Chains A and B, each alone.
Chain A
Amino acid sequence: MLGVFVCQCGTNIAATVSTDRVVQAAKSMLGVVHAESIQYTCSDPGQRAIIDAIQQKGLTRVVMAGCSPRMHETTFRRAIGRAGMNPFMLEMVNIREQCSWIHSDIDEATEKAIDLVRKGVARVRRQKPLQAGSSPVTRRALVIGGGVAGIQAALDIADAGIPVTLVEKSSTIGGNMARLDKTFPSLDCSSCILTPRMVEVKQHENIKLMVNSEVEKVRGYIGNFEIDIRKKASCVIEENCTGCLICQEKCPSKAPDDFNVCAGESKAISIPFSQAVPLVASLRKEYCRLFIKGKCSVCQKVCPAGAIDYEQEDIVVTEKFGAVVVATGFGLYDWKQSYPTYGMGMYPDVINALKYERLLSASGPTGGRIERPSDGKEPRDIVFISCIGSRDESVGRPQCCSIGCMYMAKQAILTKEHIPDSQSYIFYIDVRAAGKGYDEFTRRAQTDFGAIYIRGRVGKIYPRGGKLVVMGTDTLAGDQVEIEADLVVLATGLTPAEGAGQLARRLNISTDGQGFMAEGHPKLKPVETNTGGVFLAGACQGPKDIPASVAQAGAAAAKVIGLLSQEELETSPMVAEVNQLKCAGCFKCRDVCPYGAVEAQDARDGQVAHVIASLCQGCGLCNVACPPGVISLKGYTDNQLIAEVVEVLR
């Protein structure tokens, strides 16, 4: 008793596929007792029509020809479930994304749609009723990355009473926001709004904070992840350290000041900034005299708390989680090689905007006095150049960084506040300021703070008498411009954080063309990924400002809370199954299974394979590997696939 429903999807399908002809053809297919075309099958009246037909005609199998199963499979499974059918006795045939939308010839498209329906009918005729299984949920969440997004997500989840582990790669949480001076568009001070949140994380009874840590291995699935986290040795006993900074003061080994984007200098043992959370020193062995030359131990001698332990080793902890939030943020595009005409880093006074934030910041290495790196002089003429490694096909980076226009305006305003007789020039392609209050903000930079906006790109930067000549075009005036600058600030594009690709692979989530973590659906699943139970927050998913990062983090937290408020999760019944009577016991299936889901079971003569349904993810690798073909993936059995092939080519 098979029913075929052909969706018109308004005109989305009906304009290119003759749904009437598809219905006619379906009526003559084997087993079909009912076929009709419906204007919008997913709408309430549409679903009701389907349910009515099922109940009136006693349908036991349904083919839905319409949009992609990736779109509405769950919707229709629920609908036929409500009609009393087994929800898995459904086959969706994609005649929209993969048919009507990509063809223009009605005859060709209709013929193809009919082929596809025939294929669907053949397949669902061989489908068996399946029961979704269930598995218990671990009520604990992992948040990876402690920037503003990770902090927000961790706090929201923890506030709902769910235990959270927050894993941060560096020695403190805070991320890039901790480096900013003031923030657009309200110009509130970044640390004033961020540091209280950081402290909350530290004090929250439901949050376990692990710094200097990274996710190393991920096993399991939604509701039941088992994850190894490596905490790197920092040579400092976290519980003992009081953050007095004596070690940093006395340490003789200089080291790059990563937090200040190398605007200053740091030591081999250090705390990156004074509001760091946790306020604990970390030692970087690659710069430490003791580890390089074998002699020093100054920090150990001076530490009043006895917190230094050179023998400390990495530890790997394994924990169970029900859900994961990825919030690893962003890195900055390295412009030096791709923009040789900007001096390839040979001019110390050409810097990126993040370093400029540190020069603006009262807690920065210069105490908030803007000093140019070459000679420490206060600059007067400052040129900002937008879209470095953004919107630039010539370096293979077409995407917009989405925050550059805004922070350049902000930095121009702050510059004027710091140095009243300064002049800022901003080279831009066009000013993209779409957020609330954003356009007004960029205009204020011009009207109230005198920033001069020049529409065009900069071709070259070269030195002249201690200054830098910035040569560019003014495409509005149709002229060339040359500005003698004391300092040049580049708004460089955003990249995924270092190691994001590796982490994505470990979590089994996709990345987009630029390496950012890919969301489940660009519109409808903006915080999900294509792996159940793994969610995204902040700039790891794509360039974002703080408000957007925080909003996404809140959304991810809500998803996690929703997920972990369930006791048990439904699992897909499309798992492998062994016909043990015919199993030869070769265990080729066990060899290929990526999840260790196949185990040996004793049988009358020797051992046979058995699939642990809760571990099986339904990839079907075993199905192909099995020599006698007796382990089969439910819902994708050999019979079904062969029938599809045969019917579609009929």
Chain B
Amino acid sequence: MTDYSYFPGCSLTSSAAEYDVSFRLVAAAFGIGLDELADWNCCGASPAPHHWGGELGILLPARNLHIAGAGHPSVVAPCAGCYNRLKYAQFELERNPELRERTGAALDEAVRYQTEVLNVIQLLNREIAPDDLSERVQRRLSGLRLGTYYGCVLVRPPEVVRYDDPNNPVKMEPLLNATGAATPHFPFKTECCGSYMGLAKKEIVLQASKRIIEVALECGIDALVTVCPLCHQNLDLRQSQINAAYGTDYHLPVLYFTQAIGLALGHSPAELGINTHKNADFGNWTLDVG
């Protein structure tokens, strides 16, 4: 049993609570210990680095890194946005001694920033061998065609996150395939969903997310799989807004990576919080166990 520090971030405690639940279920099934960071704070999300300028976008995640530094060797941040901010802070602290000084001053002690930061795909790939997962599958997802949707910030900028191929990430695929699901070629796996523009200029999100869904359907995909709460929101929650704006009739389910694996392990959609999604109809594909 390996223990990891766990940084849930704001989303996983609110709008993406089902992500947290499903992650914990999968982790438990494979004996992965998750120690939630004590007194963690906001990762800075999009506004801190982009709108408030200065160093807030580094200082906020730096504090979380600092806390993690007192715990296990690695910290996992399932939300792609949180992951990106933590990696960014680490990247900047690593190369900028003066920033390290200032951060230390703000923390009243030398900043601990070298804890390994993992995203959820990385963690599960490390702890679960595809063959093991395949053996543990209770509900084989054969026949289900999953579109792996990585979004932007998990793999970009590549020199900062250094994770997977930024143009063609493929690290979700092995575990998903081990559940029996197919992962057909999906050209929009890193296309932007519109991100936080949903608040400022909704049309942008509707247009961007519409195209992702459209191409997914063109590729014969039954459900999208993501690791980002914001992407999830734009693609699932706003699907009805897309339909209203474009006169489409989309009902494409969007799952968290951990939910897809949870389904394969035999958990019910309700246990995994899939019922809280707006689009949870898998069509011909039945969710029966066995």
Contact = CB atoms under 8 A, between A and B. Distances in A.
Given A341-B187, A343-B185, A346-B185, A464 B168 contact: no
Contacts of B219: 463
A463 B188 CA distance: 11
Given A340-B167, A343-B185, A460 B191 contact: yes
B185 A341 contact: no
B215 A462 contact: yes
Contacts of B187: 341, 343, 460-463
A340 B165 contact: yes
A341 B168 contact: yes
B173 to A, nearest CB: 13
Interface string B188-214: 100100000000000000000000001
Contacts of B159: none
Contacts of A343: 185, 187
B168 to A, nearest CB: 3
A538 B188 CA distance: 42
A344 B167 CA distance: 11
Contacts, number: 28
Nearest to A482: B211
A462 B188 contact: yes
A465 interface: yes
B165 A464 contact: no
Contacts of B214: 464
Contacts of B218: 462-465
Nearest to A468: B187
A464 B185 contact: no
Interface string A327-351: 0000000000001110110100000
Interface string B159-189: 0000001011000000000000000010110
Nearest to A469: B215
Given A463-B219, A464-B215, A464-B218, A344 B168 contact: yes
Contacts of A346: 185
Interface string A459-502: 01111110000000000000000000000000000000000000
A467 to B, nearest CB: 10
Contacts of A465: 218
A344 B184 CA distance: 13
Nearest to A340: B168
B149 to A, nearest CB: 14
Nearest to B219: A463
Nearest to A460: B187
Q: Chain B CB within 10 Å — which of A346, A460, A462, A465 has the most?
A: A462
Contacts of A464: 214-215, 218
A464 B168 CA distance: 20
Contacts of A344: 168, 185
Interface centre among A340, A341, A461 (most CB of B within 10 A): A340
Contacts of A461: 187
Contacts of B167: 339-341
Most B CB contacts (10 A, CB to CB) among A343, A346, A460, A461 go to: A460
A340 B190 CA distance: 11
A470 to B, nearest CB: 11
Interface string A171-191: 000000000000000000000
A465 B218 CA distance: 7
Contacts of B188: 460, 462
Contacts of A460: 187-188, 191
Nearest to A343: B187
Nearest to A346: B185
Contacts of A462: 187-188, 215, 218
Interface in B213-231: 214-215, 218-219
A207 to B, nearest CB: 49
Contacts of A341: 167-168, 187
Nearest to B169: A340
Nearest to A337: B168
A208 B214 CA distance: 62
Interface string B136-178: 0000000000000000000000000000010110000000000
B117 to A, nearest CB: 25
Nearest to B158: A394
A464 B187 CA distance: 11
A138 B214 CA distance: 70
Nearest to A394: B167
A341 B168 CA distance: 7
B186 to A, nearest CB: 9
Nearest to B186: A462
Contacts of B165: 340
Nearest to B190: A341
A463 B167 CA distance: 17
A463 B80 CA distance: 27
A586 B264 CA distance: 75
B151 to A, nearest CB: 15
A339 B214 CA distance: 22
Interface of A: 339-341, 343-344, 346, 460-465
28 contacts: A339-B167, A340-B165, A340-B167, A340-B168, A341-B167, A341-B168, A341-B187, A343-B185, A343-B187, A344-B168, A344-B185, A346-B185, A460-B187, A460-B188, A460-B191, A461-B187, A462-B187, A462-B188, A462-B215, A462-B218, A463-B187, A463-B215, A463-B218, A463-B219, A464-B214, A464-B215, A464-B218, A465-B218
Given A346-B185, A463-B215, 10 more contacts: A340-B168, A341-B168, A344-B185, A460-B188, A462-B187, A462-B215, A462-B218, A463-B218, A463-B219, A465-B218
Q: Which 5 A-B pairs have the closest CB atoms?
A: A340-B168, A462-B187, A340-B167, A346-B185, A341-B167
